[in-house]
């Protein structure tokens, strides 16, 4: 018996479904791309530009559209106007201060051997170094600040960078700043003067609907899979799952890829809707595992308290009801309880991570508006994931009485 046999021919080129793959065409974003292109057009025309703040939830094409337009702009500006366009892309995930941002900009313009250490300089020296570096480039520089919301608490450069030329910090180069954020409330939290500097133009990318997701998936599937291996319902089902959730193209592509992987593992000749369903269940489990394991002890206690109410059929529950149960669980786990106000933040976080469902009730005059919470995931899997934290053991014993 041979040890190795050829894999079944499900995929042609699975890399096409990976996160790294850059598609040639952006689908389902015509009007958004048109507005974005108009916002960048002054660069082509050699006119002063306004800064751009681009919003939208995760996976709605903000990154891919920005890369697509900047790549074209770079080529076209060179061709028609002989202007050099430099693009600087800073992922602000771990960049929380203006000082770190200046260091990241400098380093992204330098060869690795000339990188500076992002510590130890007086702040003003660091900023001056950055402006000198930018000015030396000449032409036009587009600085993309991806996940710009991380810089909210130290916003000096968010204010100054878009105005650098007007304020005489640079002379030879024009700078356009594009801030990208999936925090839809980011702008509301900015100081007025930062808002008017960073968000001179705003673009909103809405979630994809099922039709748009289907269009994106069909184009990718054509290259990713061998001919005729996808059953007819597969792409519509992947699109429907992702549209029902938050309309995220990344999620839809991952689901299609995982369905293909499952079919391949089973040595199946076709990818079916059952494979999609299994992939969806697996991904949901992975999401719960990751989200629960990343919670702080307080977050886990709040989740456990809401879950125990759920198991007693007492959800949707209000903040004050969760708080009573939470206090008991905090004491069982020997943790200092947080205030009721802080509990509200934890409930909000858990809802953002889709571990809980949040619903606002409006009862008219008597009680006004309030929020209610219920559990949106499988109780057994939450309990098994909470078990990984030894401190939760007494709480789990209590929860198990209700399971
Ligand atoms: N309109 C589209 N056409 C083709 N592929 C798309 C489109 N929109 C998104 N994608 C693909 O979906 C994935 C996520 O897209 P992208 O990274 O642009 O999302 P995003 O809005 O920047 O998300 P995040 O805020 O999480 O970074 C990528 O693999 C991208 O190639």
Note the pLDDT of residue 365. Answer: 65
Q: According to the annotation, is 61 in a ligand binding site?
A: yes
Q: According to the annotation, is 64 in a ligand binding site?
A: yes
Q: According to the annotation, is 63 in a ligand binding site?
A: yes
Query: Token pair for residue 159?
Result: 């204010």
Q: Whose C-alpha lies nearest to ligand 1, atom 13?
A: 250
Note the pLDDT of residue 7. Answer: 57
Which of these, 304, 303, 396, lies nearest to 349 by C-alpha position?
303
User: What class is the 30-204 domain?
Assistant: alpha beta
> Does ligand 1 lie within 6 Å of residue 253's CB atom?
yes
Asked if the 221-290 domain carries CATH number 1.10.357.10, the reply is no
Which of these, 306, 349, 329, lies nearest to 392 by C-alpha position?
329
Note the pLDDT of residue 378. Answer: 86
CA–centroid distance, 27 to ligand 1, in Å, is 10
Q: Which ligand 1 atom minimizes the distance to the CA of 205?
A: 21
Query: Token pair for residue 356?
Result: 């809980």
Note the pLDDT of residue 152. Answer: 85
Q: Which helix (H) or strand (E) holds 54?
A: strand 52-55
Interhelix angle 393-402/379-386, nearest 10 degrees:
160
Phi, psi of 121 (to 5 degrees): -100, 150
> Does ligand 1 lie within 6 Å of residue 67's CB atom?
no
| DSSP SS3 for 230 | strand
Q: In the chain, where are the structural domains located?
A: 30-204, 221-290, 295-402
> Does ligand 1 lie within 6 Å of residue 249's CB atom?
yes
Q: Which ligand 1 atom minimizes the distance to the CA of 29?
A: 1
> Does ligand 1 lie within 6 Å of residue 182's CB atom?
yes
CA–centroid distance, 150 to ligand 1, in Å, is 20
- Its pTM stands at 0.83
Q: Whose C-alpha lies nearest to ligand 1, atom 7?
A: 61
pLDDT, averaged per 10 consecutive residues of the chain (403 residues), comes to: 69 92 93 97 92 95 96 93 92 92 96 92 95 95 96 92 94 96 87 93 96 97 95 98 93 97 94 97 89 92 97 95 96 95 93 88 75 90 89 95 90
What value, to the nearest 5°, has the Cα angle with vertex 99 and ends 95 and 102? 85
> Does ligand 1 lie within 6 Å of residue 157's CB atom?
no
Note the pLDDT of residue 5. Answer: 60
Q: Which ligand 1 atom minimizes the distance to the CA of 22?
A: 31
Note the pLDDT of residue 362. Answer: 79
The H-assigned helical ranges of 161-233 are 192-198, 210-224
> Does ligand 1 lie within 6 Å of residue 64's CB atom?
yes
Q: Which ligand 1 atom minimizes the distance to the CA of 60?
A: 21
Determine contact, residues 88/140, Cβ cutoff 8 Å. no
- What ipTM was predicted for this assembly? 0.99
Q: How far apart are CA 17 and CA 57, in angstroms?
A: 20
* 216 Cβ contact partners less than 8 Å away, ≥ 6 residues apart: 27, 28, 208, 249, 252, 253
CA–centroid distance, 61 to ligand 1, in Å, is 4
Note the pLDDT of residue 62. Answer: 97
Q: Whose C-alpha lies nearest to ligand 1, atom 26?
A: 58
Fold that domain 295-402 belongs to in CATH: Arc Repressor Mutant, subunit A (1.10.10)
Which of the listed residues 214, 250, 254 should we mutate to test ligand 1's pocket, taking the one with most ligand atoms within 8 A of CB?
A: 250
CA–centroid distance, 296 to ligand 1, in Å, is 30
């Amino acid at each position: 018996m041979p040890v190795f046999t050829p894999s079944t021919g499900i995929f042609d080129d699975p890399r096409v479904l990976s996160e790294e793959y850059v598609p040639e065409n952006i689908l389902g974003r015509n009007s958004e791309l048109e507005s974005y292109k108009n916002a960048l057009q002054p660069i082509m025309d050699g006119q002063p530009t306004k800064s751009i703040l681009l919003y939208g939830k995760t996976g709605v094409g903000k990154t891919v559209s920005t890369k697509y337009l900047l790549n074209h702009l770079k080529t076209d500006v060179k061709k028609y106007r002989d202007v050099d366009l430099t693009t600087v892309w800073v992922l602000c995930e771990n960049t929380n201060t203006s000082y770190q941002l200046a260091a990241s900009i400098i380093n992204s313009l330098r060869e690795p051997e000339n990188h500076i250490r992002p510590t130890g300089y007086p702040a003003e020296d660091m900023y001056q170094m950055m402006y000198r570096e930018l000015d030396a480039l000449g032409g036009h520089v587009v600085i993309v600040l991806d996940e710009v919301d991380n810089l909210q608490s130290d916003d000096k450069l968010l204010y100054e960078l878009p105005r650098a030329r007007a304020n005489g910090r640079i002379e030879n180069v024009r700078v356009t700043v594009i801030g990208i954020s999936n925090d839809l409330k980011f702008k509301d939290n900015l100081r007025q003067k930062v808002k008017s500097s960073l968000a001179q133009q705003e673009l909103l990318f809405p979630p994809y609907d099922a039709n748009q997701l289907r269009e994106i998936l069909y184009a990718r599937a054509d290259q990713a899979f061998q001919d005729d291996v996808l059953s007819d319902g597969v792409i519509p089902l992947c699109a429907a799952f992702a549209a029902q959730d938050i309309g995220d193209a990344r999620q839809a592509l991952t689901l299609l890829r995982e369905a293909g992987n499952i079919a391949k593992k089973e040595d199946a000749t076709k990818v079916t809707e059952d494979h999609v369903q299994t992939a969806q269940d697996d991904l949901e489990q992975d999401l719960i595992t990751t989200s629960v394991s990343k919670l702080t002890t307080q977050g886990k206690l709040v989740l456990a308290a809401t879950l125990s109410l759920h198991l007693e059929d007492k959800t949707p529950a209000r903040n004050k009801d969760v708080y009573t149960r939470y206090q008991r669980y905090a004491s069982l786990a020997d943790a200092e309880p947080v205030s009721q106000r802080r509990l509200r933040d934890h409930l909000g976080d858990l809802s953002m991570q889709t571990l809980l469902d949040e619903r606002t009730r409006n009862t008219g005059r008597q009680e006004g508006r309030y929020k209610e919470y219920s559990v949106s995931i499988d109780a057994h899997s939450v309990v098994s994931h909470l078990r990984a934290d030894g401190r939760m053991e007494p709480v789990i014993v209590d929860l198990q009485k209700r399971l």
